Amino acid sequence: MVIGLIGAGNMGSALARGLGEPLLVADADGARAESLAVELEGEALGSSAELAERADLVVLAHKPAQLHEVAAETGGRARAVASILGGVGVATVEAAYPGVPAYRFMPNLAVEARRGVVCYTPGTRAADGPERELLGLVGRLGTVIELEEALIEPATALMGCAPAFFALVVEALGEAGVRHGLPPERAALMACETMAGTAALLAGRELETAELRRRVTSSGGSTARGLAALERGGVRSALDGAVDAVVGTGRR
């Protein structure tokens, strides 16, 4: 399957690197498209129309506000479209590309390392296009979770924005270690690898979160004191507020 990528920004590039395919690439910034195409041993094209003409699947990774502009540029040439446009529902994509199988994906940045989470909502004509092959390709990127579209927004807070939240935690832990005398590079490595190892235990269902905390924590010990400090500092409330800020509920 020939894949064409429209938009070579941060998320589009991360997706492309994770797929590892020699994609066709088009971007308003020709130099950026060329750089990504060279990296992937693909081909940079001068227009969205040419890309849609040659691709079996067009991946929309441009700015969401450009949806109708780009659809007009392709001139009805697209055979199937997969959108990673934030805040753009699959029905809106179908309306911009009438009669074309459409698929909505919401990936996070870790797809570049093939350890991402990708939420998926199929369009009404998904089965008429290369859905099975497409899901096989996207499966290379990490964990694919099909969701009702109404749940995409809260999912984005957990899997789309959370890499930045986790990075802040690693940064804060590393800085605290440096304050107590650890070399910066080693403190950062310890915090990062500890998070990765903990995630591996939890994701593999080796341990539930409460059981993991129990096994690390002894009564009155150092971990217990640290957890108490986190609770006093409002870590749960802060993360709850972060999710609310993304979803926009304003409940708390």
Enter the tokens of residue 104.
Answer: 């909505």
Statement to judge: residues 32 and 144 lie in one domain: yes
pLDDT bucket at 75, cuts 50 / 70 / 90: confident
Please say if the pLDDT value at position 250 is more than 70. no
Provide the token pair at 121: 């909502």
Identify residue 51 by its one-letter amino acid code. Answer: L
CATH number at residue 50: 3.40.50.720
Same domain, yes or no: 127 and 12: yes
Domain hosting 65: range is 3-149
CA 89/CA 174 separation, integer angstroms: 39
CB contact at 8 A, 108 and 116: yes
Residue at which a domain ends, from 123, 149, 175: 149
Residues in contact with 35: Cβ distance below 8 Å, sequence separation at least 6, in sequence order = 8
Q: What is the largest CA-CA distance in the chain?
A: 68
Residues 118, 187, single domain; the answer is no
CA distances, 99 to each of 80, 88, 128, 136, 243 (Å): 9, 18, 10, 23, 36
- The predicted-structure confidence for 97-126, as pLDDT tens digits, reads as follows 999 999 999 999 999 999 999 999 999 999
Q: Which of 116, 149, 182 is the last residue of a domain?
A: 149
Residues 43 and 130 in one domain: yes
- For residues 87 and 24, membership in a common domain is answered with yes
**What pLDDT, in 10s, does the model give residues 128-180?**
999 999 999 999 999 999 999 999 989 988 999 999 999 999 999 999 999 99
How many C-beta atoms surround the C-beta of residue 143 within 10 A?
Answer: 13
Question: Are 69 and 145 in the same domain?
Answer: yes
252 pLDDT higher than 60: no
Rounded CA separation 53/49 (Å): 6
Q: Which of 115, 149, 183 is the last residue of a domain?
A: 149
Task: Count up the domains in the chain and report the number.
Answer: 2
